[in-house]
Amino acid sequence: MMSETYVECLVKKKTSTVMLFLKILTIVMAVVFILAGLGLIFWPALLAGVIMAVAAYFIVMNADLEYEYLYLDKEITIDKVMAKAKRKRVTKYEIESMEILAPIKSWHLDEYKNRTVKTVDYSSGVEKQPDLRYAMYYDGGIKVILEPSMEMVKAIKNIAPRKVFTD
């Protein structure tokens, strides 16, 4: 019998000011164009309003993002939750291919700092005090920035004690 550890963690991504501005701008423009199109029975304005409404929908979905980390059976799965309505699988990481998982400012990461790797950020994007983000170097070419719960870090450390640091 194999004991499986299951840990879930949800992290809200900070909405950038650009996305907030675009969200408000597209909604306002959609309303203005649709009202102008209906009031004047001017179909190009109505069409522009519908296009702006569709754009506003996609911007609203991407402005309100959460990342859900799921640790189960030696793998970390990351899903993107858009506007608390739509879920999309982003990626999956096998613990065996993980090189190191440590706090983002840990001295354990010093030997990895000069590497040229692709960086992906699945954290809140905010440097809190203390900084709760972790960096995971994966498969020689990817640096993944996460914000896992301590429960998740402990679960991963139980599987790969020499690769996980909590400083």
pLDDT tens string 71-91? 988 899 999 998 888 899 999
pLDDT at 50 exceeding the cut of 70: yes
**What is the rounded CA–CA span in Å between residue 163 and residue 72?**
17
Confidence of residue 135 (pLDDT cuts 50, 70, 90): very high
* Closest C-alpha to 119, from 90, 95, 142: 142
pLDDT at 140 exceeding the cut of 90: no
Given a contact cutoff of 8 angstroms between Cβ atoms, the answer to whether 95 and 160 are in contact is yes
What Å distances lie between residue 91 and 4, 35, 45, 124, 135, CA to CA? 20, 42, 41, 17, 16
From 2-6, 86-90, 132-136, the region with the lowest mean pLDDT: 2-6
Q: What is the structure's pLDDT at 127?
A: 84
pTM exceeding 0.85? no
**What is the rounded CA–CA span in Å between residue 56 and residue 146?**
28
